[in-house]
Amino acid sequence: MLAEVPGDVRVPWFGPPMKARSMLTARLMETWAHGQDVADALGVDRVPTDRLRHIAHLGVRTVGFAFAAHGRPAPTVPIRFELRSPGGGLWAWGEEGAADRVSGPALDFCLLVTQRRHRDDLALTAVGDTANAWLPRAQAFAGPPGEGRKPLR
């Protein structure tokens, strides 16, 4: 049904109305995140795939929203994101020459933006004040930020 919705039409949802494609991506993110909750509860490791790109993309697209959810203005400084895909490739978003950067495994990035792991438990690197301010606020889902995860280490 969503495939038939024109690209510029926003669909009502629990959070702000979203374009159909974004809504689908958000539902994929929620399904993956809650699947991670189940895997964690059962002590099962899931094998990540390059399908995580959808979730990583949503994480990048929601930088401004994450700041707003924490009562802060959206950053004006660009952030470059460089993530290693599960398949070994490089996924990149943002200006190549941006001084602020976030890099690391795509799986870790997705665990962060869905708040399934604390920053300290992940192999993500942030360079620059804006990138470092974003990591603890990262949130790819609608709604209030909550208290986040406690570090495991």
Asked if residue 71 is part of any domain, the answer here is: yes
Non-local CB neighbours of 71 within 8 Å, separated by 6+ positions:
none
Average pLDDT over residues 141-150: 78
Residue 153's pLDDT is: 67
Asked if residue 145 is part of any domain, the answer here is: no
Residue 5's pLDDT is: 87
* Residue 110 confidence class, pLDDT cut points 50, 70, 90: very high
Q: How many domains does the chain have?
A: 1
DSSP state of 131: H
The parent domain of residue 127 ranges over 17-137
Residue 14's pLDDT is: 74
Asked if residue 122 is part of any domain, the answer here is: yes
Residue 21 pLDDT exceeds 80: yes
As beta bridge partners, residue 8 has none
Asked if residue 4 is part of any domain, the answer here is: no
Average pLDDT over residues 75-99: 97
Most confident segment among 1-5, 28-32, 88-92, 141-145: 88-92
Asked if residue 32 is part of any domain, the answer here is: yes
Asked if residue 30 is part of any domain, the answer here is: yes
Tens-digit pLDDT profile for residues 24-72: 888 899 999 999 999 999 999 999 999 999 999 999 999 999 999 999 9
Average pLDDT over residues 119-124: 95
Asked if residue 98 is part of any domain, the answer here is: yes
Residue 72's pLDDT is: 93
By residue count, the chain amounts to 153
Query: Whole-angstrom Cα distance, residue 37 to residue 148?
Result: 14
Average pLDDT over residues 111-124: 95
Asked if residue 43 is part of any domain, the answer here is: yes
Average pLDDT over residues 95-103: 97
Domain of 61, CATH number, reads 3.30.1050
